[in-house]
Amino acid sequence: MIYTVTLNPAVDKTVEINDFSAGKVNRVSSVRLDAGGKGINVSKVISSLGGRSIAMGILGGASGGFIKDYLDCRGIDSDFVFIDEETRTNLKVVDSLKGTNTDINEPGPLVNSDDLDMLLQKLLDRVREDSIVVFSGSVPDNLDKTIYARWIGEIKEKGAATILDADRELLKNGIKAGPYLVKPNIYELGEIFDTAIEEAEQAERYARQLVVDFGIELAAVSLGEKGALYVDKKRSLLAHGIKVDVKSTVGAGDALVAALAYSIDTKAGFEAAARLATACSAANVTTAGTQAADWSLIDDLQERVVLEYL
């Protein structure tokens, strides 16, 4: 079973406003509410791949209730700790006239240690040797940035696989715990090594260093429209980006993580995983907001993935 952990989920509220401008009255032409937060996005994509996951994390208030219902309606299993404070709402203003996207993100509620311990306990009670646990996204402001590192350690003790997709200190600390898989984009990979990385070949060297130094089984480095690199102990594979009509690149990384988690769960081979993850993430950028793409499109795109060993 795949478990996704979202410590700071969000309701994504997308409004369309043509000719949006600050400091005046703006009229909204359409509104859309989606359950969001990186782990929840991963669960949505796993579902569109035909897989199963259990979305876990912390939800609160009416917006937390909305997220729970949203997942229930789509047949996505969940097991959240509920708190009184309201889960955040992130506002996305889409202006098709000016071609701009404006994000207004709330910080989200703080979380106390009892609720956090309850969540970890729920997770540990469920996890078995063949489980996969995905840790992704930001965490509430009051939490220590070693939280993913500590939880990865606990899950590893159970013999299960862990996936880490975070940035800055959460990522830097988390890799030291040796997750099974880490998914930085090229900028985040640079952050780990305090350097700027531009080329795939350079990224490959740093990704290999992650594998060797931290005992990581698979380093997947996403390169945006250029595709992604998949580096394990034996090989380095570059999956070239697929040319698609771009609607929104938000959540592309989550789609890549979802496909990799699903591939580990279904014991797909290295190349098959790289092909599926690259196709799945490219399909995701053709959909608005963080909506998951349909399986038919993902499957079509799989044939267009060009793989090259470095």
Ligand X SMILES: Nc1ncnc2c1ncn2[C@@H]1O[C@H](COP(=O)(O)OP(=O)(O)OP(=O)(O)O)[C@@H](O)[C@H]1O
| C-beta atoms surrounding 231 within 10 Å | 25
Query: What are the residues binding ligand X (CB under 6 A)?
Result: 185, 222-225, 227-228, 241-242, 244, 246, 249-254, 256, 278, 281-282, 285
Closest contact distance (angstroms) between CB of 256 and ligand X is 5
- Decide if 69 is catalytic: no
State the amino acid at position 290 in one-letter form: T
Which option in Mg ion, ligand X, none does residue 256 bind, with CB closer than 5 to 8 A by kind? ligand X
Q: Determine contact, residues 254/280, Cβ cutoff 8 Å.
A: no
**Residue (79 or 191) nearer to ligand X, CB:** 191
Q: Give the Cα separation of 120 and 81 in Å (integer).
A: 10
In angstroms, give the least distance from the CB of 276 to ligand X: 11
Cβ proximity to ligand X: between 127 and 252 the closer is: 252
- The two structure tokens encoding residue 136: 């992704």
Binding string, 246-265, against Mg ion, x = CB under 5 A? Answer: -------x------------
224 binds, among ligand X, Mg ion, none (CB under 5 to 8 A by kind): ligand X
Cβ 191 to ligand X shortest distance, Å: 12
What is the smallest separation between the CB atom of 6 and ligand X, expressed in angstroms?
A: 14
Nearest to 150 by CA among 166, 174, 133: 174
Angstrom distance (rounded) from CA 65 to CA 59? 7
- Of the listed 12, 34, 254, 265, which one is catalytic? 254
Residues forming beta bridges with residue 11, ordered by sequence position:
35, 89
Q: Which ranges of the chain would DSSP assign to H, the alpha helix? A: 38-48, 61-73, 113-126, 147-157, 168-176, 186-192, 200-214, 252-265, 270-285, 295-302
Which amino acid is it at 202? Q
Q: How far is CA 63 from CA 9, 90, 220, in A?
A: 10, 11, 33
x/- mask, Mg ion, residues 111-150, rule CB under 5 A, reads ----------------------------------------
- Residue closer to Mg ion by CB (options 60, 184) is 184
Shorter beta-carbon distance to Mg ion: residue 64 or 253? 253
| DSSP-derived secondary structure for 234-252 | S-EEEEEPPP---S--TTH
Task: Give the tokens for residue 247.
Answer: 């609607």
CA distance 88 to 247: 24
Which lies closer to ligand X via its Cβ, residue 147 or residue 252?
252
CB of 254 to ligand X, least distance (A): 5
Measured at CB, which residue is nearest to Mg ion? 253
Distance in Å, CB of 54 to ligand X, minimum? 21
Q: Which does 254 bind (CB under 5 to 8 A by kind): Mg ion, ligand X, none?
A: ligand X
Using CB distances below 5 to 8 A depending on partner kind, what does residue 248 bind out of ligand X, Mg ion, none? none
**Which of 15/263 has CB closer to Mg ion?**
263
49 binds, among Mg ion, ligand X, none (CB under 5 to 8 A by kind): none
CA distance 16 to 11: 16
Q: Which residues bind Mg ion (CB under 5 A)?
A: 253
Question: Which residues are tagged catalytic?
Answer: 254
